[in-house]
Amino acid sequence: MSIEIRNIEKRFGNFTALDKVSLTVESGELLALLGPSGCGKTTLLRIIAGLEQPDAGQVLFEGRDATHQHVAERQVGFVFQHYALFRHMTVFDNVAFGLTVRPRKVRPEAGEIRERVMQLLKMVQLDWLADAYPAQLSGGQRQRIALARSLAVEPRVLLLDEPFGALDAKVRKDLRRWLRKLHDDMHITSVFVTHDQEEALEVSDRVVVMDHGHIEQVGRPDDIYEQPATPFVTRFLGDVNLFHGRVEDGRFTHGDFAHALSTEAAAGNEQAVAYVRPHDLDLARARDGALAAGTVEHIHAVGPLVRVEVVPERGDAIEVVLGKERFRELALVPGEQVYVTARKLAVFSGDYAI
């Protein structure tokens, strides 16, 4: 089922949580709402669910206005960050809850409920824990049970609010791979909120990057990462080094360094900033084509990567990430002079990519 958000506005007192937000979620899509705390992503999710009412705008399900439809009528499954399981109920009863509380005329028979619940528990690979209680489960198991419970009522839309935020890194990584596989098997329209860039890029079909109640960029994970539309998106999706310069005659210049730009906006003459990720930088001992020069200050090996901090004569330290093989080839030592080269730059003038 498709979801359309039209010019949604939401305020809490003097705080604007959402400011004329518009977005379309395609049927069967897994969409991530990504952004820092307070950007409006959870508010938008709750408005889709019917847990919050917008001050203005519309929510449409499959082309039909659902803005003022009660949450119980929307056929939405909601998975919370902290599981929200009933402690006094077994795993089986937790998953069955949404079915057993339905009005008698639409409530499935007991045998049908049991069959559906056990199918869901097998799907989340926890049917062997049907008689256990939440306190006997690990965090990852509880979250899978919470997901099974949300699916028991056969929702048309699945909404997940920071579903793995309370779990440790290893469990979180395992569960997001599992969620992606589950989605591929079921093809249910899903929207999940996260502030974890890696999680959004790994799991989703498309990513919506939000900040201060606005949508900064919408796109496929690779496009968002490789072609960020604004400085905020560039910074939020990972570490970057900033190099201040100018756009002159279709080139970005920084000291003696010049980099050709391809867009029409590059024809002007104005101040600009190049954003370069640490892994898009390299080090050399020759000045040719160098973006900057400096002294090696710190060298820190992290698994297969080596982080090198280079301090220029003026400006902030530059972080360069090298592979172990490249680092051995350079044989760097602290205190030596090196030149920084760039494989890729994202250049912005104001808030615009050029």
> Which of 59-68, 114-123, 239-248, 256-265 has the lowest average pLDDT?
256-265
Split at pLDDT 50, 70, 90, the class of 120 is confident
- Phi, psi (degrees; rounded to nearest 5) at 177: -65, -40
pLDDT at 278 over 80: yes
211 pLDDT higher than 90: yes
Asked whether residue 201 carries a pLDDT value surpassing 80, the answer given is yes
Span of 165-174, 201-210, 211-220, 234-243 with lowest mean pLDDT: 165-174
| Whether pLDDT at 354 is above 80 | no
What whole-number distance in Å separates Cα of residue 121 and Cα of residue 119? 5
Could you report the per-residue pLDDT of 148-161, keeping only the tens digit for each? 888 888 888 999 99
- Strands 305-311 and 292-302: what pairing? antiparallel
Distance CA 81, CA 146 (A): 10
pLDDT band at 53 (very low <50, low <70, confident <90, very high): very high
pLDDT band at 256 (very low <50, low <70, confident <90, very high): confident
* Torsion from C-alpha of 88, 92, 98, 99, nearest 10 degrees: -130
Predicted pLDDT at 332 = 94
Spatial separation of the C-alpha atoms in residues 354 and 350, rounded to whole Å: 10
Q: Give the Cα separation of 130 and 109 in Å (integer).
A: 19
Nearest to 31 by CA among 196, 200, 155, 164: 200
Query: Measured between alpha carbons, how far is 77 from 156 in angstroms, rounded to an integer?
Result: 8
| Range among 20-24, 132-136, 167-171, 256-260 rated most confident | 20-24
Pairing type for strands 241-248 and 352-353 reads unpaired
Asked if pLDDT for residue 166 goes beyond 70, the answer is no
Contacts with 185 (C-beta within 8 Å, 6 or more apart), sequence order: none
Residues 6+ apart with CB under 8 A from 47: 5, 8, 10, 18, 53, 54, 59
Residue 321 has pLDDT above 90, yes or no: yes
pLDDT given for residue 83 in this prediction: 65
**Residue 200 — φ and ψ, nearest 5°?**
-65, -45
Q: Which residues contact 50 (CB under 8 A, 6 or more apart)?
A: 66, 69, 70, 71, 73, 74, 76
Q: Give the pLDDT confidence of 178-187 residue by residue, as tens digits.
A: 888 888 888 8
DSSP string, 154-218: --SEEEEESTTTTS-HHHHHHHHHHHHHHHHHH--EEEEEES-HHHHHHH-SEEEEEETTEEEEE
pLDDT of residue 228: 93
For residue 275, name the pLDDT band (cuts at 50, 70, 90).
Answer: very high
pLDDT at 264 over 70: no
What would the mean pLDDT of 136-154 be, rounded to a whole number? 86
DSSP code per residue over 214-248: EEEEEE-HHHHHHS-SSHHHHHHTS--EEEEEEEE
Amino acid found at 95: V
Torsion of CA 127, 132, 138, 144, to 10 degrees: 40
What is the rounded CA–CA span in Å between residue 316 and residue 339?
15
Query: pLDDT-based confidence at 268, cuts 50/70/90?
Result: low
pLDDT recorded at residue 329: 95
In terms of pLDDT, which residue wins out, 178 or 191?
191
Mean local confidence (pLDDT), 250-278: 82
Q: Give per-residue burial for 332-341: e unless 16+ CB within 10 Å, then b.
A: beeeeebbbb
Q: Is the pLDDT reported for residue 277 higher than 90?
A: yes
Q: Is 66 helix (H, G, I), strand (E, B) or coil?
A: coil
* Domains of the chain, start order: 3-235 (3.40.50.300), 239-353 (2.40.50.100)
Summary mean pLDDT of the chain: 90
The percent of residues above 90 in pLDDT, for the chain, comes to: 61
Does position 200 have pLDDT exceeding 70, yes or no? yes
156-179 mean pLDDT: 80
pLDDT confidence bin for 21, thresholds 50/70/90:
very high
pLDDT at 29: 96
Answer whether residue 308 shows pLDDT above 70.
Answer: yes
Report the chain's terminal Cα–Cα distance, integer Å. 37
What is the rounded (10 degree) CA torsion for 126, 128, 134, 135?
-120
CA angle 180, 204, 12 (to 5 degrees): 120
pLDDT tens string 73-97? 888 988 876 767 888 999 999 999 9
Confidence band for 307, pLDDT divided at 50, 70 and 90: very high
